[in-house]
Every structure is written in structure tokens, then in C-alpha cells.
Amino acid sequence: MPPADDAAAAGARAHAPARQRGVEAVDWVVVGARSLARRWRSSMQVRVVTSALALGIVAVAVLGIYLSFSIRDGLFEQRVDQIESENAALTQQVRTTLAGSPATSPGDQQSLLRDVILSLSAGGSSAQDYFLRQAPDQGLPLVDPASSRTLAVDDVVSPALRAATLATDDQVLQSVAIPGVATDSGVDEPGVVVGSVVEVPSGGTFELYALYSLSSEQETLGFVQRTLAVGALAILAMIGVLTWIVTRQTVAPVRRAAAAAAQLGEGRLDVRVPGSKGHDEMATLARTFNEMAASLEEQIARMEELSAAQRRFVSDVSHELRTPLTTIRMAGEVIHASRDDLEPAARRSAELLQTQLDRFEDLLTDLLEISRFDAGAAELDVEQRDLRDVVTNVVDTAAPLAERKEVFLSVVMPERPVRADVDPRRVERILRNLVVNAVEHAEDRPVEVTVDGDEHAVAVVVRDYGVGLTVPELNHVFDRFWRADPARARTTGGTGLGLAISQEDARLHAGRLEAWGRPGEGASFRLTLPRRAGIALGQSPLPLQGPSRAGGQHVPTGQVPVVNPPTGPTPTAIPDLATAEEDSHEGR
């Protein structure tokens, strides 16, 4: 590598830690800003205290600026008035001294001017320096005397001040900055130069300038400003503390009420808000909340008792109806077996009796299953199964119904096994409900069943393109005895408990059963189950809406197209339509 490249690489390595530290500093600032923003949004107390401090800072700043300027102007005006009065007396003294002097020669006049400056310096005046300067175009062989050896007249007297002084007989003032070489502190100080005109007999016109320092006033103003700053900080601290205390007295009961409300929402109905004694607003809030909580606890207890009584009633009635139903079914089967010997009207009645007995038995079965879920007596008979086999059995069962309704029923499966620890009977019941339900509502459009899995979960999506579901219908689709359109003609019967039972079966597996739908675009149901019991379920391997719409070709009689079928023999036995109808438990 050339030397230039070596130097560049070394420079890049040297700058890398600095860049890293810069990035870390930026990240720290961003994290801190986000934390403050979250704290601001989540805490009313922080917002109130911050707002009070912000308003306090503005008010204190405005008041401090006003007081500072007012005090500064007052000190300056008071000092200027004093300077004008003092300088007028000094000027008059100088004029009287010069007017009464008999000096006529340049030497005597120079001595006179020097004595005037010395007398001014020794006269106890508050002026810092004095200067005498000949007026322009005098041309006298005199040297302008001054009381200061470190400060020249041109350092503090501007041409504008000279012109203004010569243009009037009165005093002329100008604010200046006294250079640090002429001050005790060595730094520039504020000051005032006062100019006036005096006459020297036989010597012409001279300009008299007196320099006054405002350092003492500046120190006074600085002291006042520091005192105001300390007072402002103390006031802001008091505002912050008082606001914090007041808001805490207000926010703390609200927080306790919010925490109690959250615990009520979690089912802890015995929670109450402390601090209900007294007569102020917060005590009234606590008492009202506690009264509401007690009323809710009482009402919910009554509702739970009523619900338990209803569940016992449904369970008892279902069990009690088993015996008469068995007797009626035996009698119905005898009549149904002899229907060929009956009159046509009686034969039709026997067939209707048999059909209604089947539906009655399905209803009792569903009611008993719901009773077991409510009582917490439902148990899983878990075994490891390939979900593709379960789906194949369900699709074969639903094939006659799909053929009769002219619905294209397609299945998409992976070539690899999709194994999971499941209860095959319950999973098959879930999928049978979903598939038969989709065929029932497909409106002669395709129905797609998709199977897939990952290392944590397996999923089955059943998608139809029929009537669809609205948002209010999606909110009730898993409710018991609910149907999307009760007036709609149905061919498979149903109890309105199918999807409710399916959801309970999914929860028993620690899985999820979800629904999606739009009017006119169809509906999609997704069953997601963990591969192993006890695994926390995360994201599903399949999207809820399922794959894109399948082709519109018609399925020939007795055939169900399967893409990538699983290895092993495919079931060929196709049950009759009545079996598919009897096994359906759809809830839409």
C-alpha cells in the first residue's frame, strides 16, 4: 500500500472512535427526548408543573427586565443630574478664575491653565479627569493641559462632542466608555463626558471637558440585577414546589381512582378507593367511585348467579331431554324404516320427523358441549397429528355439499408435514364448521382452504368470496345463537352455536380463531394453533385474508382439487350429503 493510503487509513481509524462517540451522544439525546415526551404525555402533573414554571419564567423575566431597566434609567438620570449640577459650578469657577487673571504672556497663560487643571483635580470633585483644549484656528503657542497622564483627550472626546460644545454656551453631555488603562480594574467602565466653553483673557477660547465615571452606579445596578436573579430563582422554585404539591393533592386521588378502575376491569370487584372521608371534591369523587364499584359488584354478582342458574338449567334440560329424545328417535327410526308401506303423506311426515330429530340431537349435543365449556369440564385428548390429514378429511366430508351448491372448493397444502399437538376431534370440528359455513355463504363463488406452518405454530385459513361480513357482524360472529342473516334460506340447518364452540375449542388449544370480512368481498377465518402445548402463540404463519382469488372453473362431481397433496393415500370415501348436513355447526 502506498504511504498516502497508509496515512489515510490511519486517519480513518483515528476518527472512528470520535464518530462512534458522536453517534452515541446523538442516540442518547434522542432517547432522552423521547423519554421526556412520553413522560409529558403520560403525566398530567408534569404538564401542569411544566406549564406553571414556563408561565412563571415568562412573568419573572418580563418583571425582571422591567425592573432592571427602570433601576438603570433611574440611577443614570440621578447621576446625570448630579453631574450637571456639579460641572456647572466647576465651569463657573474656572471662568471666574480665568477672567480675574492678569496673565498676558504665553508662559503666564500656560501656567494659569496648568494651575486651573490642578485646582480642579484637588478641589474634591467627583470627576475622574479634566481636559483643556484650544478651540480650532486659535493658533496659540500653548499646550493643552490635562489631569491624566494615561488618558488623552481624544480617547474620550469625539469630534461630534467638540462641535456640539463649541456651538453652545451650555453644557454638553455624552456617554462614553472609559478605556481600561485609565481605570483601577483594568477593564472598560461606563462614563460621561461634559463639555463647556471658557475664555482666557488675551488667550482666546478653550474647551473644558470633565470625565465622570459611572462605575459605582454600574456596580449598584449589577448588585440589584443579581439580587433580582436570585429572587427570581427563589420565586420559580416556590412556584414549582407549590404547583407540585397542589397538583399532587389533585392528581393522587385521580391516580388512585384510575388504578382502582383498572383493577375493577381485571375482575377485582372488591377494590375501593381510599380517602373517601371529608367533604371536598376529591373525597366526593372517592365516595362516588366506591358507591359505583359496590353497585357494580352487586349487579355482577346477581348476573353471575343468574348466569350460573341459566347454565345449570341448560345443562339439566339437555341431559333430561336425552332420555325422551332417545325414545322418540327409536320410534322415529321404526316409522322411517317402514315408510315405504305408508301413504305418500305419511311417508313424507316420517322423513321430516327423521330430519328434525337429527337437528334436535345436534342442538342437544351443542348445548351439552357449551355447558362443559362453561363448567370448565372440557378437556383435550392431545396427540401429534399432521394437520393436512385433518383438513383432507374435512374437505372430503364437505365435498358433496360443495358439489350440490356448485362451489369450487380448493385446498393449498405444503409438501412438508404440518404436525402439531392437537385434539383431532375438536380441530376437525372447528374446520368442518368453517368449511361448511364458507360453502353455505359462497354464493356460487370459490372457497379456498390454505394450510401452512412454521417452527412455532400451524394455521388454516378458510376463505370465501360470497356475501361477506360487515364490521358490526364481525363483532358478533362468535356470539352464541347469532346469525348474520336469520331470514336467509339455509340448507344445512344449524344451531347458531358452531362458531362459538369453535372459538372455545381454539382457546382450549391455546390458539386463536380470527375472522375478516367485507360486504360483497367474502369472508376469511383463520385458525392458528401452537405446535407444542405450552408454547406462547405469536404471529400466525398465514395472513388472515388468505391467498388471492382462485379461478372460476367448476369442480366436476365428486372431485376436490388439491394443490401439493400430502404424501400417503388420499381418502376416497365420500359420505352422503345428509352426513355433511348433520355434522355442520356453522354460526353465521
CATH number of the domain enclosing 292: 1.10.287.130
Domain boundary among 217, 233, 256: 217
Strands 562-563 and 522-530 come out as unpaired
**Same domain (yes/no): 398, 474:** yes
**Is the pTM here over 0.75, yes or no?**
no
Domains in the chain, number: 3
**Best CA proximity match to 398, nearest among 358, 442, 433, 446:** 433
Is residue 361 one of the residues assigned to a domain? yes
Strands 522-530 and 457-464 come out as antiparallel
CATH number of the structural domain spanning residue 188: 3.30.450
pLDDT at 579: 32
Is residue 67 one of the residues assigned to a domain? no
Q: What is the distance between the alpha carbons of residues 335 and 347, in angstroms, rounded to a whole number?
A: 9
DSSP state of 305: H
Is residue 154 one of the residues assigned to a domain? yes
**Same domain (yes/no): 131, 203:** yes
Is residue 396 one of the residues assigned to a domain? yes
Mean pLDDT over residues 556-570, rounded? 33
**Same domain (yes/no): 473, 505:** yes
pLDDT for residue 581 is more than 50: no
Is residue 41 one of the residues assigned to a domain? no
Task: Kindly indicate the confidence band of residue 568, based on its pLDDT and cuts at 50, 70 and 90.
Answer: very low
pLDDT at 452: 92
| Max mean pLDDT range (108-117, 392-401, 492-501) | 392-401
**Same domain (yes/no): 431, 570:** yes
What proportion of the chain, given as a percentage, has pLDDT over 70? 82
DSSP state of 142: -
**Same domain (yes/no): 343, 421:** no
Task: Kindly indicate the confidence band of residue 10, based on its pLDDT and cuts at 50, 70 and 90.
Answer: low
**Same domain (yes/no): 459, 573:** yes
pLDDT for residue 567 is more than 50: no
Q: Residue 349: is it exposed, middle or buried by C-beta count within 10 angstroms (0-12/13-18/19+)?
A: middle
**Same domain (yes/no): 366, 412:** no
Task: Kindly indicate the confidence band of residue 1, based on its pLDDT and cuts at 50, 70 and 90.
Answer: low
pLDDT for residue 266 is more than 50: yes
**Same domain (yes/no): 450, 562:** yes
Q: What is the distance between the alpha carbons of residues 392 and 549, in angstroms, rounded to a whole number?
A: 21
User: For the ranges 96-110, 221-235, 460-474, which has the lowest average pLDDT?
Assistant: 96-110
Helices H / strands E in the chain, number of each: 12, 12
Mean pLDDT over residues 429-457, rounded? 90
Domain boundary among 151, 184, 217: 217
pLDDT for residue 270 is more than 90: no
Mean pLDDT over residues 483-504, rounded? 64
Is residue 458 one of the residues assigned to a domain? yes
Mean pLDDT over residues 202-209, rounded? 80
pLDDT at 273: 83
Is residue 355 one of the residues assigned to a domain? yes
Which residue range(s) make up the domain with 332?
A: 269-378
Q: Supply 319's cell numbers.
A: 341431559
Mean pLDDT over residues 100-122, rounded? 79
What is the longest distance spanned by two Cα atoms in the chain?
169
Domain boundary among 189, 217, 245: 217
Higher pLDDT, 178 or 69: 69
**Same domain (yes/no): 350, 395:** no
What proportion of the chain, given as a percentage, has pLDDT over 90? 12
User: For the ranges 136-145, 221-230, 256-265, 438-447, which has the lowest average pLDDT?
Assistant: 136-145
Q: How far, in Å, are 373, 454, 531 from residue 534 at the CA level?
A: 20, 16, 9
CATH number of the structural domain spanning residue 513: 3.30.565.10
Is residue 258 one of the residues assigned to a domain? no
DSSP state of 488: S
Identify whether the C-beta of residue 201 lies closer than 8 Å to the C-beta of residue 106. no
Helix axes 3-42, 44-99, angle to 10 degrees: 110
Sheet of strand 189-200: strand arrangement: 129-134, 204-213, 189-200, 172-178
| Max mean pLDDT range (230-244, 537-551, 566-580) | 230-244
**Same domain (yes/no): 288, 386:** no
**Same domain (yes/no): 417, 547:** yes
Identify whether the C-beta of residue 441 lies closer than 8 Å to the C-beta of residue 523. yes
**Same domain (yes/no): 357, 387:** no
Q: How many CA atoms lie within 13 A of 365 on its CB side?
A: 15
Sheet of strand 457-464: strand arrangement: 512-518, 522-530, 457-464, 447-453, 409-412, 562-563
Mean pLDDT over residues 523-542, rounded? 87
pLDDT at 272: 84
Q: Which amino acid is at 362?
A: D
